[in-house]
Amino acid sequence: MKLVLRITLLTLLTGFTSTAFAQFPGGGGGRPSGGGGDFQRGGDRQRQTAIPGTLDDAPKGSGKIKGILVDSISKKPVEFATLALVDTKTNNPIDGTTTDEKGQFSLSKVASGNFNILISFIGYKTKTVKDIKIDRKTDLDLGSIALAPDVVQLKEVEVVGMAQMIEEKVDRLVYNAEKDITSKGGDASDVMKKVPMLTVDLDGNVSLRGSSNVRVLINNKPSTIIATSVADALKQIPADMIKSVEVITSPSARYDAEGSAGIINIVTKKSTIQGGTLNVDTGIGNRGSNLGLRGNYRVGKMGFSLGGFGRFNYNMPGKSENLQVGKIENFSIRQTTKSDNRTAFGSYNLGWDYEIDSKTSLSAGVRYGLRNMKNTQELTTFNTQGTSTTTSYRDVDVKDLSGTWDVNVDYLKTLGKPQQELSISTQFSRNNRTNDYDANVFALSTNQIREMLGSQGNNNSSHNQESTVQLDYQTPIKENQLLEIGGKGIFRQVVSNYDYYNTMGTPQAASNLDYDQNVAAGYFSYTLSTKSRFTIKAGTRYEYTSINATQGEQGSLNLPAYGNLVPSINLSQTFGKGQTVKLAYNRRLQRPGIQFLNPNVNAANPLNVTVGNPNLSPELTDQVELGTSFFKNSVYVNVSTFARFTNNSIESIRTTSPEGVITTTYGNIGEKKNVGVNIFGNITFFKKWQVGGGFDAYYANLSNNSPDISLQSSNSGFVLSGRFRTSLTIKNGWGLQGGGFMRGREVQLQGTQAGFRMYDLGIKKDFKNKRGSIGFGMENFLAPSFKMKTSLESRTFTQNNTNYLFNRGFRVNFSYRLGKMTFTEQKTRRRKSINNDDQKSEGGGMDAGGGQSAAPAITVPTNRPAGSPAGTRTQGGLRSATDSTLRSPRETIVNPNAARPDSAAKPMVAPDSLKAPVTTPDSTIKPATTLPDSTMRPDSTARPALPVQPMKQDSTARPVVPADSIPKKE
């Protein structure tokens, strides 16, 4: 009954957000601190004056004991943990060992008797395996033993310093967003701006190394809203909910073949607690307000999560100027636009998981997201044809409403051997969208008197439905190899209905597009790791795509089916203890999304018309990457180079009429070559102040092979960008962070887009009880606005557009956490889920498909509220897809006084009589908890020792080095 009451309470509280249109589902309030109470030495132990197993009189026998030690949350091997074999009669250790790089351990020549095994490692709770009986013939395999993270809060100790913001793994880079206070009150696009290798433009569109063909996942799951617009999807995710962002530049064969530039996985915060909690987050600023609630309840093997948030953006004016001039025809058209933008975003979710037994789990989730965007524009046009000039005025209302349902059920079974798993994942997703415009048209006299001429409009309703089923199996081979195989089916149904009206003439005929796309895929992947810390991961994937499409009166489009074989290989070598070199090759493909396919004619601005092309085929990309990273003390540097070659690229085709009307459609006419370098790093001073940054540079060479000579064009040049971040930890819970980003001129096929810059500053104060915080943030606060110019040129016309961005923002944020939490050793299993990443969707660039807009520019960035860049508008679309095998890192809280082992030190055990109580090394230190470096290891040459309580952790832990242990699922 209590469970029902608590769930009902969470439901009611979450329901309040549905009318608030405000932001923030829960992440906030700082990390939950574990338990309370003073640090205590674990249990009474007998005095030991020697390392176990080294005494000359240690009993010997013929018994054997072996097993593997894994993290109870991440299921990854725990390397170099200490184990002591304790005689139950004397309570003295008689032998001991440590786990190897695969988490494996073994004891041989064990004497007969009854024993306990005492296990410990820095940052984990000490564990005892009891009642082990050994005789002469015993060969005991303990199998997989889970070790739980330690959660201890010191009332007298504060860890002074900061964990690293960036981690590097074999195939990805991880940005730990939860440590960033400047994004608080913002959304996912604000977080993306600070991630190395990513660029977010002023519309919120994301690109990776200069390419907008990226797949964005949320907890390894896609959504049909992402296919419609990546920028809009990012605005539905509050920054406070984000734990980390994973950038995967060289996906393996397990991943869907699409997403030519790579994959971005957004990992949100999760609860691993027993009991119930409720997080409340709210913020208010000069351009937007938000409110969010997030609740969790877990009892025994079952857990529930319920959340909701909403945001309302206001005070978002816009202004732009556009000039297009004919080279062959004698026309000159100048347009000015003033606009007002209003947006509302909401997201509501319910999650459930159940651990059927120690090796089997079931999870399910339901999510609903909404996005309402309304825009009013005043468009004035001065149209000169030869020597005659006419002036017109349009009052345009644009309505873009979207709602998305996502439902998933996932099953995971761990089989007999460690890392041997079978998973079945299913997902259903549907996006409904309405994208209309209505325009009143006026003639303007010389004295600016308006004369009503009539009205025009376009109604476009669409839905995008997708069903996916996926089967994955992995099994280790011997001790250092991993085999992965799987299959997947994606079944899409997309419908777009559109009609027009025109009181001043004959409107275009209504029509529709029905587009069914089915994808069948299978993959094979093999991984080998050697003792010399060399890892190779190779595989291949085959995908077969069939399409059945009809368009209005035209009937069947007779689009051919096609198959693609996409190989991949990743190599990694770690040298010593500070440097890693990686080399990778992969082939990717990018299917066109609905915004490129939709044949609806968008004429909100009648002089800049956009229409899709349903006959597009996928584009293919080959990519090579070479990178290295190294760290020493508190300095970390990463350098990577890449080359990317794209054929059959989907590019804009712009044509002009004699009257100066520019019509944009799309075709597979392009060829792209990008070669570049990314350099970034960070350094920590005095354990309190962290400074990081870097720059990206690439050379772009673009050309098309259009058979029409008037459409042929090419362009090339360098594109530069850079970023800087700094953060300072101050006493008594205060923190300060700031930074900026700048991108130079961007090279496009028919012109260039001017560069831009962004900067921010934030301060936060955590409450003494660690249950909440209050903060203040500001962005681009030194100027009220700035200009951004775009220039395009073809053989028949030139077009120059200037946008004025009003994005100076200030906001105040507040978060608080209610409820009682108890951290337990319960096994939280890795979950697998559907990840479809197979379509080219609107993720960035000026050429993404057209939604309703009367703005005169090629793309007119809408005004960005504080912490919330506005997104471009597109027609409803095919969903993007991504591989299901990505794993979201679990949030792990460890003993704050656990120290990073000194690689030069050997563990020692002092007699109890010499042990001193825990003391505070610095009188200024106060209670806190920190996140550990997941790959911290002691010196592999360390001798086994008695388990002891961990020492104070050095918070300047270095970035994660690619794992060289047994291959793991990513």
CATH (domain of 497): 2.40.170.20
Element spanning 728, H or E: strand 714-729
**Residue ranges making up the domain that contains 835:** 168-840
The most confident of the ranges 26-40, 123-137, 339-353, 871-885 is: 339-353
pLDDT of residue 450 exceeding 70: yes
Q: Is position 711 within any domain?
A: yes
Indicate the helix (H) or strand (E) that contains 289: strand 288-299
Whether 319 is covered by a domain: the verdict is yes
Q: What are residue 687's DSSP bridge partners?
A: none
DSSP for 200-220? E-TTS-EEETTB--EEEEETT
**Position 7 pLDDT exceeds 90:** no
Q: What are phi and psi of 3, to 5 degrees?
A: -60, -45
pLDDT for position 153:
36
Section 464-468 average pLDDT: 92
Residue 917 within a domain = no
Q: Would you say residue 127 lies in a domain?
A: no
Report pLDDT digits (tens) over 363-400. 999 999 898 999 999 999 999 998 889 999 999 999 99
Residue 582 scores a pLDDT above 70: yes
The whole model's pTM is what? 0.63
Number of domains in the chain: 1
**Quick one: pLDDT band at residue 405, thresholds 50, 70, 90?**
very high
Classify residue 30: in a domain, yes or no: no
* pLDDT on residue 525: 93
Q: Please give the pLDDT value at position 800.
A: 93
Q: Is residue 465 very low, low, confident or very high in pLDDT (cuts 50, 70, 90)? A: very high
The answer to whether residue 795 is domain-embedded is yes
Domain for residue 46, yes or no?
A: no
Q: Stretch 136-158: mean pLDDT, rounded? A: 66
- Give pairs for 131-140: CB < 8 Å, separation 24+: 132/65, 134/61, 134/63, 134/65, 134/110, 135/63, 136/61, 136/62, 136/63, 136/112, 137/62, 138/63, 138/64, 138/65, 138/110, 139/63, 139/64, 140/63, 140/64, 140/65, 140/66
Report residue 40's pLDDT band, with 50, 70 and 90 as the boundaries: very low
Q: Are 652 and 664 in contact (CB under 8 A)?
A: yes
Judge whether 220 lies within some domain.
Answer: yes
The whole-number pLDDT of residue 913 equals 34
In tens, the pLDDT along 76-86 reads 788 778 888 88
pLDDT at 454 over 50: yes
Give residue 624's pLDDT: 94
Q: How many residues can be counted in the chain?
A: 970
Percent of the chain with pLDDT over 90: 26
